[in-house]
């Protein structure tokens, strides 16, 4: 089994991301998004308040850059009948989206907005399929810097022949999905799309499915083209929930791609956080500079996460180099949550200008390596950075466990007998350690340590 997996990994693509001007999208985004805080109940005031709080509570200084409105910002009753442009809901946004974006820019942030590659957004507002060029131009004229593009309500003529590719329960590192899908009939639509679809012979098809050629990928590429045609650089964040393996085509299409469904519908997000960690533990080979696995927006500050769960959520999102978008009412965050979200060592790993690859599991732990397990995912992770080697030990169990980093198992450590070790959570120096480091890790917590040469 392990040999087959190693062989499969050997042919994984080298990530080749969408390079935008001024290095936009090179590093995973840092910012705030309205959805997990307010769902559809948004307005200009709440978004500006969020931006103000991001300044007051030190997030802007810590490097958080984007303030993004999610769904439900527009008029529900449709586009402008003459110009076919989307129209902001002026009751919610008295200064329009342009006015709101201007204020956000004046505060020194970038501004993001949301639409969907279908006929309606998930909240049933008008969406962009068929109007990509118009919408991209509208967004650019409003000063939008970031587009989150969702996957709700594609019409039937955009469906691929295979509608139900299910994830195989014995998930493998290549993310192979069972089911054979063919794209025999072209979609009936009014687009002419003549840009060649990138094709990688080593990578495709996977179990008979050419995800790159699927209509889903095409719908997202049409918006990519429209954004690239604007005289403004707009980071393109794909929100396709992982259904058509966007890690296989997202790199050529956008700066990041959601790898799975929403992190939270309400207050209980811990089980989803663990599921997402499990899912993403297989996907690090697809990410690098300019192309990031999006584990979804944070839920820290909402509901009932314990301190240990908050550390795991943020710590692993930072190590996986997911976009990090805070999704709560920032003014209400506790001091402890703020200090986790502004952990300097983790943010500098996440934003490392020299090392683009995210951390990856070097050992699963309780389970054999490469086990897909939604409650006990990979526990031992490591990654290289300009500051040294980061190693994380995640304890998904309900009681404290003693966990150990054995230096000889960590691929980034080069066999030296001893290393200087720093505890990333409290910054304490653990001194020069030989051979291994052992720590007690609380239930649901993640110990993270930084190794440098002695």
Active site residues: 150, 262
Nearest distance in Å: CB 266, ligand GAL: 13
How many angstroms separate the CA atoms of 61 and 101, rounded? Answer: 20
Q: How far is CA 122 from CA 117, 289, 353, in A?
A: 10, 29, 35
Nearest distance in Å: CB 176, ligand GAL: 24
- What's the gap between Cα 382 and its chain centre? 19
Sequence-distant (≥ 6) Cβ neighbours of residue 362 within 8 angstroms: 380, 381, 382, 409, 410, 411
For ligand GAL, what does the binding mask look like between residues 44 and 83, x meaning CB under 6 A? --------------------------xx------------
Nearest distance in Å: CB 216, ligand GAL: 14
Residue ranges in 105-124 that form contacts with ligand GAL under rule CB under 6 A: 121-123
For ligand GAL, what does the binding mask look like between residues 276 and 315, x meaning CB under 6 A? ----------------------------------------
Nearest distance in Å: CB 303, ligand GAL: 16
70 or 288, CB closer to ligand GAL? 70
Nearest distance in Å: CB 74, ligand GAL: 12
Instruction: Output the residue with the shortest Cβ distance to ligand GAL.
Output: 122
Does 262 bind ligand GAL (CB under 6 A)? Our answer is yes
One residue of 15, 27, 30, 35 binding ligand GAL per CB under 6 A: 35
Instruction: Report the sign of the C-alpha dihedral through residues 335, 340, 341, 342, in that order.
Output: positive
Residue 289, judged by CB atoms within 10 A of its CB (0-12, 13-18, 19+), counts as buried
Does 275 bind ligand GAL (CB under 6 A)? Our answer is no
How many angstroms separate the CA atoms of 116 and 375, rounded? Answer: 31
How many angstroms separate the CA atoms of 85 and 136, rounded? Answer: 10
Nearest distance in Å: CB 151, ligand GAL: 7
- What's the gap between Cα 444 and its chain centre? 21
Count residues binding ligand GAL (CB under 6 A): 10
70 or 160, CB closer to ligand GAL? 70
Does 442 bind ligand GAL (CB under 6 A)? Our answer is no
46 or 363, CB closer to ligand GAL? 46
How many angstroms separate the CA atoms of 309 and 337, rounded? Answer: 11
Cα–Cα nearest to 76, from 90, 55, 96, 66: 90
Sequence-distant (≥ 6) Cβ neighbours of residue 113 within 8 angstroms: 68, 69, 73, 97, 139, 142, 144, 146, 147, 148
For ligand GAL, what does the binding mask look like between residues 320 and 349, x meaning CB under 6 A? ------------------------------
- Both structure tokens of 366: 């309780």
Residue 19 per-residue DSSP state: -
In which order are the strands placed within the sheet that holds 418-423? 360-363, 380-385, 388-394, 446-453, 418-423, 429-434
Residue ranges in 124-163 that form contacts with ligand GAL under rule CB under 6 A: 150, 152
**E strand spans, 337-445:** 360-363, 380-385, 388-394, 401-406, 418-423, 429-434, 436-441
Residue ranges in 206-245 that form contacts with ligand GAL under rule CB under 6 A: 239
36 or 100, CB closer to ligand GAL? 36
261 or 307, CB closer to ligand GAL? 261
How many angstroms separate the CA atoms of 308 and 448, rounded? Answer: 12
Nearest distance in Å: CB 364, ligand GAL: 28
19 or 267, CB closer to ligand GAL? 267
| Total residue length of the chain | 454
241 or 397, CB closer to ligand GAL? 241
Binding residues for ligand GAL (CB under 6 A) = 35, 70-71, 121-123, 150, 152, 239, 262
């Amino acid at each position: 089994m392990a040999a087959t997996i190693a062989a499969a990994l050997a042919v994984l693509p080298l990530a080749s991301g969408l390079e935008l001007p001024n290095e936009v999208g090179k590093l995973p985004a840092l910012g705030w998004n309205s959805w997990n805080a307010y769902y559809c109940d948004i307005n200009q005031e709440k978004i500006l308040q969020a931006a103000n709080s991001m300044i007051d509570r030190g997030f802007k200084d810590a490097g958080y850059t984007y303030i993004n409105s999610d769904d439900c910002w527009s008029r529900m009753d449709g586009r402008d009948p003459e110009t076919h442009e989307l129209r902001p809901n002026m009751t919610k946004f008295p200064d329009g989206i342009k006015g709101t974006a201007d204020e956000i820019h004046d505060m020194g942030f970038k501004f993001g907005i949301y639409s969907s590659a279908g006929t309606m957004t998930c909240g049933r507002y008008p969406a962009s399929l068929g109007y990509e060029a118009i919408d991209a131009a509208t967004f650019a004229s409003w000063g939008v810097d970031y587009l989150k593009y969702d996957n709700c309500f594609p019409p039937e003529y955009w469906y691929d022949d295979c509608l139900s590719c299910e994830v195989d329960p014995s998930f493998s590192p290549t993310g192979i999905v069972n089911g054979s899908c063919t794209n025999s009939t072209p979609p009936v639509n009014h687009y002419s799309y003549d840009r060649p679809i990138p094709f990688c012979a080593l990578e495709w098809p996977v179990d008979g499915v050419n995800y790159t050629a699927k209509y889903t990928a095409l719908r997202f590429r049409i918006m990519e083209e429209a954004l690239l045609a604007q005289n403004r650089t707009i980071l393109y964040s794909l929100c396709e929930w992982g259904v058509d393996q966007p890690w296989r085509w997202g790199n050529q299409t956008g700066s990041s791609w959601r790898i799975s469904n929403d992190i939270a519908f309400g207050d209980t997000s811990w089980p989803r956080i663990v599921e997402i960690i499990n899912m993403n533990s297989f996907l690090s080979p697809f990410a690098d500079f300019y192309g990031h696995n999006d584990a979804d927006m944070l839920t820290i500050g909402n509901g009932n996460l314990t301190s240990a769960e908050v550390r795991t959520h943020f710590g692993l999102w930072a190590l996986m180099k997911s976009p990090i978008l805070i999704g709560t009412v920032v003014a209400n965050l506790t001091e402890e949550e703020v200090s986790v979200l502004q952990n300097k060592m983790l943010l500098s790993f996440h934003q490392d200008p020299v090392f683009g690859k995210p951390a990856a599991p070097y050992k699963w732990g309780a389970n054999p390596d490469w086990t897909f397990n939604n409650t006990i995912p990979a526990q031992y992770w490591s990654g290289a950075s300009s500051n040294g080697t980061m190693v994380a030990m995640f304890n998904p169990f309900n009681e404290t466990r003693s966990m150990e980093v054995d230096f000889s198992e960590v691929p980034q450590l080069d066999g030296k007998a001893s290393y200087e070790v720093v505890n990333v959570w409290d910054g304490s120096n653990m001194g020069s350690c030989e051979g291994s480091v052992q720590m007690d890790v609380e239930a649901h917590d993640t110990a993270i340590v930084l190794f440098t040469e002695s």
